[in-house]
Amino acid sequence: MKPSKAAMRFLGLVLLMALAACQSGAAAQVPEVEPTPDAVPGEKTYQDLVVGYSQLGAESEWRTGNTDSIKEAAEELGVELLFSDAQQKQENQIKAIRTFIAQQVDVIGVSPIVETGWESVFQEAKDAGIPIILVDRAADVPENLYTTHMGSDFVEEGRNAARVMADLLDGQGIIVELMGTLDSAPANDRYIGFREVIEDYPGIHIIATESGDFTRAKGKEVMEGFLRLYGSQIDGLYAHNDDMAIGAIQAIEEYGLKPGEDIKIVSIDAIRDAFQAMIDGKLNATIECNPLLGPKFFEVALQVVNGETVPKWIPSEEGVYFPEDAAELLPTRRY
Ligand code: GZL
C-alpha cells in the first residue's frame, strides 16, 4: 500500500527534525572557534596579545635590524603591535609608555635610550598592572619595576674588544675611543669592560675618549678631531659600534692614513657593513651584539602574560669576527 501524501509529509518532517537534531548535536560538540593547537583554556595566545613597544630611534644599522626583527616577528605571530620610534629622545619614550598604559596594552617592551630617568613612568605601568620587558638596553631602576631584561652583556663585549686590541697592538700603543650615546647602558658598560682588560697592559694608553652617539656622521666628526690632535701617534681605535667605526674609517682615509693598517680598529655589533670593511682590510675585528630579538621578545611576553616566571636577565649568545672569515660569513649575516 502506497503511503498517503500526509504520511510522506510527516515522515519528511520527522527526517528534517532528526537531521536538525543531529546537526545541533554535532554543533554542540564542535566549539565555535577552533583553539590554536597549543592553547590552554584561559591562557592568551599570540593572536590575543596587544603589545606596546617603545623603540629609542633609528641611529644605526643595528637599531634598524632590531626594529625589523620586532615588527617581522609580530606580523608572523599575529600579535597586535603598537610601535613607537622616539627619534633618540627619552621624553618621547616616556610619552609612548604613558600612551600604552592608557591603551591598557598587555605588555610594554622598551629599549631605554639611557639608563636613568625611568622610575616614575615604570611605576605608573606597575600600578596599572602592565609588565615592562627591557629589550636590548638596561635601565637603572629597582628590579621590581620590570619583569625581565633581554639583551647582551655589554661589559663582556668591552672586555672582548680589549683582548683583541691588545693582541693587535702586541701590548703596546696609543688608543682613541669612540663612545656610544652618553649614559646609555652599552656605552657605560663597554667603557668599563674595555678598561678592565686594558689595565693589564701598561704599554697601552687611552689618550682620548668622546661620544659619537652611535652614528656614522658623528663618529667621523669625532675621529677627525682626534686626528687633528694626535695624527699618526694613534695606533688603535676602539669604537663602541660599527657605524661609528665606519664613519671613522672615512676620516682616517681622508687624513691620509690606512685604516686597519696604520690604525688598528676594533668595533662592536657585527653588522654587514663591518664584514665588508674587514674584507676591504679597513677593520680588524667586530664583536657581535645580536639585534634579532623579536621572536624571543614575543615568546617571553606571552609567557609573562600567562603568568609564567621568567629569568630577570635573558642574555644573548654572541661571537667575535675577524677579516679571515668575513668573506665566507657575509652572505649569512641577517643584519
Ligand atoms: C647595543 C645597542 C647599541 C648598538 C648600537 O645593544 O643598544 O645601540 O651597539 C645601537 O649600534 O645604536
**Separation CA 297–CA 51 (nearest Å):** 10
Residues 253/229, Cβ–Cβ less than 8 Å = no
Q: Is 246 helix (H, G, I), strand (E, B) or coil?
A: helix
Query: What integer pLDDT is reported at residue 319 of this predicted model?
Result: 93
Place 41 in a pLDDT band, splitting at 50, 70 and 90: confident
Query: What integer pLDDT is reported at residue 26 of this predicted model?
Result: 36
What is the whole-number distance in angstroms between the Cα of residue 284 and the centre of ligand 1?
19
Looking at the predicted structure, is the pLDDT value of residue 329 above 60?
Answer: yes
Q: How many CB atoms lie within 10 A of CB 9?
A: 11
214 CB near ligand 1 (under 6 Å): yes
Terminal-residue alpha carbon distance, the chain: 84
**Separation CA 169–CA 32 (nearest Å):** 69
Place 258 in a pLDDT band, splitting at 50, 70 and 90: very high
For the stretch 238-252, pLDDT in tens is: 999 999 999 999 999
Question: What is the percent of the chain with per-residue pLDDT over 70, rounded to a whole number?
Answer: 88
Looking at the predicted structure, is the pLDDT value of residue 177 above 80?
Answer: yes
Whole-prediction pTM: 0.87
What residue segments make up the domains of the chain, in order of their start? Answer: 5-152+291-316, 154-289
Query: What integer pLDDT is reported at residue 42 of this predicted model?
Result: 79
Q: Which CATH architecture has domain 5-152+291-316?
A: 3-Layer(aba) Sandwich (3.40)
For the stretch 90-122, pLDDT in tens is: 999 999 999 999 999 999 999 999 999 999 999
Looking at the predicted structure, is the pLDDT value of residue 10 above 70?
Answer: no
What is the whole-number distance in angstroms between the Cα of residue 267 and the centre of ligand 1?
11
What topology does CATH give the domain 154-289?
Rossmann fold (3.40.50)
241 CB near ligand 1 (under 6 Å): yes
Q: Is 232 helix (H, G, I), strand (E, B) or coil?
A: helix
> For 160-183, what is the mean pLDDT?
98
> Would you call 5 exposed, middle or buried from its count of C-beta atoms within 10 A (0-12, 13-18, 19+)?
exposed
What is the whole-number distance in angstroms between the Cα of residue 220 and the centre of ligand 1?
17
Place 27 in a pLDDT band, splitting at 50, 70 and 90: very low
For the stretch 284-313, pLDDT in tens is: 999 999 999 999 999 999 999 999 999 999
157 CB near ligand 1 (under 6 Å): no
Residues 247/277, Cβ–Cβ less than 8 Å = no
For the stretch 45-104, pLDDT in tens is: 999 999 999 999 999 999 999 999 999 999 999 999 999 999 999 999 999 999 999 999
Averaged confidence pLDDT in the chain: 91
Looking at the predicted structure, is the pLDDT value of residue 30 above 70?
Answer: no
**Separation CA 148–CA 307 (nearest Å):** 13
Place 40 in a pLDDT band, splitting at 50, 70 and 90: confident
Residue nearest to atom 3 of ligand 1 (CA): 186
